[in-house]
């Protein structure tokens, strides 16, 4: 394509397509770029290749049936989506969860955050050519999956929470397993940091690449680690604490410039902060119920069902019809691994959700990405794309 540049030169631009099935696009993103030599003159992005109709499908079923769908939003940290959705519905009901359920959710949230960061950074480093780190990160992640399996039977798509609590209590030895795996993850992080933090090649390929400053990031609607990498100290766990996060001791990790290096490092150090939270939460874990006693949400015990007519009816109602949140509209969010994960739920008082809108953190990140590439090199496309952590399931829903 022959063009006249703003400087008045006449050049031939080459157009290339990256994706939608390109290893660096992690599946389903498409980037269409015009190149001037090795520099990207302009790029446009496309999405929707994994649009599976989450928002239409959930209107067809009950609130409980939404949970398996939420697993498949951000499938690198499925439990976070479960918890975020349950928290939003529980907020509509106005129920308080028992202490053990809350602490368990904190442990699961933070472990999910850790493995999400592991996958993101591991894959990002592969894009930069550092394959070894991928194995260093994937082995501890498999160990977390083993805990997930013992906890709920599934490795990836867990559906571990229920509206009003958890699917079930933990297995004996859960605490030891968690503490052991946290140690393994921390070791892996230390090892990888040792390999990359002062590595000339790594620094040259990430420093001042894909820089997004604070003002730009805020206008683009970025949240989470990508926003913190630009030096904006915002974390829902600190700003609008839920699940008692204000009582845990941890720090938010901040970057300075908002380049790829900062984004990778923010994630690395956040893994360590999450490890701190997990340790504190495990220490607090006391025996107790993991579901609320609220009859609108929780199934009665088997014993009650067999001996009490009311409980039997309630059990039938909950299973055949499901829960009925009060009519109205509610937006609720948590700090997910990628940023603010929000659910806008519109209820008509019935058993099926009337409308659920997911506020996916990577949507804003991906929408800003093509613009961010203008003027950068083709070789940096993959590294900066990996560092904003786009998960197609959540992006396209």
Partner 1 sequence: MSAAADTACPAIQAGLTAEAILALLAPLGGAKDPADRWGLTVIVPREQLRAAMQLLRDGETTRFDLCLDVAGIDYLGYPDWRGPRFAVSYPLKSTVFRHRVTIKVQVDEDDASVPSLHDVWSSCDWAERETWDQYGIVFAGHPNLKRLLNHHEFVGHPLRKDYPCQKRQKLSVNDPMVDQLQAKLRALGYEILEQPAVTPGMPLTQKEIAK
Partner 2 sequence: MVYKPVPATAAAPEVNLGDAFVTTTVDAVVNWGRRNSLWPFPFGTACCAIEFMGMVSSMFDVSRFGAELVRFSPRQADLLIVAGTVTYKQAPVLRRIYDQMLEPKWVISAGACATSGGFYDCYCTVPGIDEIIPVDIYIAGCPPRPEAFLEAIVQLQKKIDRENRNERAIIGGAA
Which residues within the stretch 8-47 sit at the binding site for partner 2 (CB under 8 A)? 20-23, 27-28
Sketch the per residue contact string, 47 through 86, with partner 2: x for CB under 8 A, - otherwise.
-xxxxxx--xx----------xx-xx--xx----------
Residue 98's binding partner, choosing from ligand SF4, partner 2, partner 1, none, with beta-carbon cut-off 5 to 8 A by kind? none
Residue 22's binding partner, choosing from partner 1, partner 2, ligand SF4, none, with beta-carbon cut-off 5 to 8 A by kind? partner 2
Residue 207 touches partner 2, criterion: CB under 8 A? no
Distance linking the first and last C-alpha atoms of the chain: 35
Residue 119 touches partner 2, criterion: CB under 8 A? yes
Tell me the window of 9-17, 66-74, 284-292, 305-313 that interacts with partner 1 (CB under 8 A).
9-17
Whose structure tokens read 């093509």?
A: 370
Smallest gap from Cβ 183 to partner 1, in A, equals 20
Please count the other Cβ atoms lying within 10 Å of the Cβ belonging to residue 90: 23
Residue 87's binding partner, choosing from ligand SF4, partner 2, partner 1, none, with beta-carbon cut-off 5 to 8 A by kind? none
Residue 154 touches ligand SF4, criterion: CB under 6 A? no
Question: Cα–Cα distance between 116 and 109 in angstroms, integer?
Answer: 10
Smallest gap from Cβ 124 to partner 1, in A, equals 16
Please count the other Cβ atoms lying within 10 Å of the Cβ belonging to residue 79: 27
Residue 290 touches partner 1, criterion: CB under 8 A? no
Two structure tokens written together for 235: 């974390």
Smallest gap from Cβ 71 to ligand SF4, in A, equals 8
Q: Which residues contact 239 (CB under 8 A, 6 or more apart)?
A: none
H-helix or E-strand containing 228? Answer: helix 224-229
Residue 187 touches partner 2, criterion: CB under 8 A? no
Residue 146 touches partner 1, criterion: CB under 8 A? no
Q: Which residues contact 337 (CB under 8 A, 6 or more apart)?
A: 74, 76, 77, 80, 112, 113, 116, 117, 120, 224, 225, 389
Look at residues 109, 161, 158, 88 and name the one whose alpha carbon lies nearest to residue 356.
Answer: 88
- Between residues 58 and 147, which has the closer beta carbon with respect to partner 1? 58
Which residues within the stretch 78-137 sit at the binding site for partner 1 (CB under 8 A)? 91-92
The region that residue 2 occupies, defined by phi over 0 for left and psi between -120 and 50 for alpha, beta otherwise, is: beta
Question: Cα–Cα distance between 23 and 233 in angstroms, integer?
Answer: 33
H-helix or E-strand containing 277? Answer: helix 260-284
Burial 165-191 (b: 16+ CB within 10 A, else e): bbbebbeeebeebbeebbeebbebbee
Smallest gap from Cβ 346 to partner 1, in A, equals 6
Using CB under 6 A, pick the residue from 98, 143, 157, 378 that binds ligand SF4.
Answer: 157
Smallest gap from Cβ 360 to ligand SF4, in A, equals 16
Interface residues with partner 2 (CB under 8 A) are 20-23, 27-28, 48-53, 56-57, 68-69, 71-72, 75-76, 119, 134-135, 138-139, 142, 145, 155-157, 392-393
């Amino acid at each position: 394509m022959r063009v006249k540049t703003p400087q008045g030169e006449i050049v031939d631009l080459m157009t290339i397509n990256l994706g939608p099935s390109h290893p660096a696009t992690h599946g389903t993103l498409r980037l269409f770029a015009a190149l001037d030599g090795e520099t990207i003159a302009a790029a446009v992005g496309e999405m929707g290749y994994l649009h599976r109709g989450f928002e239409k499908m959930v209107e067809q079923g009950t609130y409980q049936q939404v949970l398996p769908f939420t697993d498949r939003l951000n499938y690198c940290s499925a439990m976070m989506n479960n918890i975020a959705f349950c928290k939003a519905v529980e907020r509509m009901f106005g129920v308080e969860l028992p202490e053990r359920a809350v602490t368990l959710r904190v442990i699961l949230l933070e472990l999910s955050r850790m493995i999400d960061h592991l996958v993101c950074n591991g894959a990002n480093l592969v894009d930069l050519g550092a394959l070894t780190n991928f194995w260093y990160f994937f082995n501890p992640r498999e160990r977390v999956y083993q805990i997930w399996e013992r906890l709920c039977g599934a490795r990836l798509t867990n559906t571990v929470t229920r509206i009003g609590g958890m699917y079930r209590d933990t297995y004996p030895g859960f605490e030891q397993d968690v503490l052991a795996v946290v140690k393994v993850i921390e070791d892996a992080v230390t090892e990888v940091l040792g390999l990359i933090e002062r590595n000339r090649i790594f620094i040259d390929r990430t420093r001042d690449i894909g820089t997004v400053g604070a003002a730009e990031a805020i206008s683009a609607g970025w949240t989470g680690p990508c926003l913190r990498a630009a030096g904006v100290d915002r974390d829902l766990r600190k700003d609008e604490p839920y699940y008692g996060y204000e009582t845990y001791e941890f720090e938010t990790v901040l970057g300075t410039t908002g380049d790829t290096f900062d984004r990778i490092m923010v994630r690395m150090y956040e893994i360590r902060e999450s490890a701190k939270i997990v340790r504190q939460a495990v220490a607090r874990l006391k025996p107790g119920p993991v579901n609320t006693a609220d009859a609108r949400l929780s199934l009665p015990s088997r014993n009650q069902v067999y001996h009490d007519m009311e409980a039997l009816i309630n059990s039938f109602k909950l299973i055949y019809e499901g829960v009925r949140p009060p009519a109205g509209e509610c937006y609720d969010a948590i700090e997910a691994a990628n940023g603010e994960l929000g659910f806008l739920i519109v209820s008509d008082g019935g058993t099926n959700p009337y409308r659920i809108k997911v506020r996916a953190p990577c949507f804003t990140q991906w929408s800003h990405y093509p613009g961010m590439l203008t003027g950068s090199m083709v070789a940096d496309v993959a590294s900066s794309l990996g560092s904003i952590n786009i998960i197609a399931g959540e992006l396209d829903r």
